[in-house]
Amino acid sequence: MSLVDKCAAIVAMRHARTEVTTASFDTVDFLSGIRAGDIMVLSGRLNAVFKSSMEIEVEVRAENPFTGERRLTTRAFVTMVALGPDLRPQRVPEVEIVTEIERAREAAARERRRLRLARRT
């Protein structure tokens, strides 16, 4: 979980170009274990930008160091919030949505956000 959080933070900082903090882990799906000796490969992707928050999708793969075979072990959706110099939420730049896949990811992120905010009330 700690590595997933760090990966999400790096993606968010690279987009917002400022400090960020974790607001929530929406979903964490553990699909399979990682064996001792496997190499963990983490990849993060920015799915959507809201006002000061961003949804980052993180995938963790286990790589066999001898064969190079990789398998998906974990997928998580993390909400990060950009922080200004006063450590208060700061507006983040929009993300350019180009492909249909990106549109679908953004729409799914907006729905996850809607459900998350509805649970708070």
The order of strands in the sheet holding 70-83 is 19-30, 70-83, 53-63, 39-49
Asked if 47 and 104 touch (Cβ cutoff 8 Å), the reply is no
Spatial separation of the C-alpha atoms in residues 99 and 20, rounded to whole Å: 27
CATH number given to 2-29+41-58+73-120: 3.10.129.10
pLDDT digits (tens, 9 = 90+) for 40-86: 999 999 999 999 999 999 999 999 999 999 999 999 999 999 999 99
Q: Taking residues 97-112, report their average pLDDT.
A: 94
Mean pLDDT of the chain: 95
Domain range summary for the chain, segments of one domain joined by + = 2-29+41-58+73-120
Q: Give the predicted TM-score (pTM) of the model.
A: 0.90
CB atoms within 10 A of CB 78: 26
Give residue 40's region: left, alpha or beta (phi > 0; psi -120 to 50): beta
